[in-house]
Amino acid sequence: MGRKEKKERVEKRDNFAAKRSNEKRRNLLVTIAVLSVIISIVGYAVLEFVNMNSAAPGSPDNAGVLGSEHSHVAMLVKVFGDTFDFSLPAYQIKTSWIHFEAGDGTTIHKHATGVTLEYLFDSLKLKLDDQCFIFQDGRQFCTTDDYTLKFYINGEKVNDIRNYEPMDKDRILIAYGGETPEEIQDLLLEVANQKIIEN
- Here the contacts of 123-126 (C-beta below 8 Å, separation 24 or greater) are 123/94, 123/95, 123/97, 123/98, 123/99, 124/86, 124/90, 124/91, 124/94, 125/90, 125/94
Q: What is the DSSP letter of 169?
A: T
pLDDT tens, position by position, 47-67: 555 455 445 567 888 899 999
Say which residues have a Cβ less than 8 Å from residue 125's Cβ, sequence separation at least 6.
90, 94, 136
The Cα 93–Cα 102 span in angstroms is 9
Residue 44: is its pLDDT beyond 60?
Answer: yes
Say which residues have a Cβ less than 8 Å from residue 54's Cβ, sequence separation at least 6.
60, 61, 62, 63, 64, 65, 112, 114
The Cα 65–Cα 114 span in angstroms is 9
Mean pLDDT of the 42-47 span: 66
20-29, 118-127, 139-148: which range is least confident on average? 20-29
54-68, 76-90, 178-192: which range is least confident on average? 54-68
pLDDT tier at 193 (50, 70, 90 boundaries)? very high
User: Mean pLDDT for the chain?
Assistant: 88
State which fold the 71-193 domain adopts. Answer: Ferric Hydroxamate Uptake Protein; Chain A, domain 1 (2.170.130)
Domains of the chain, by residue range, sit at 1-51, 71-193
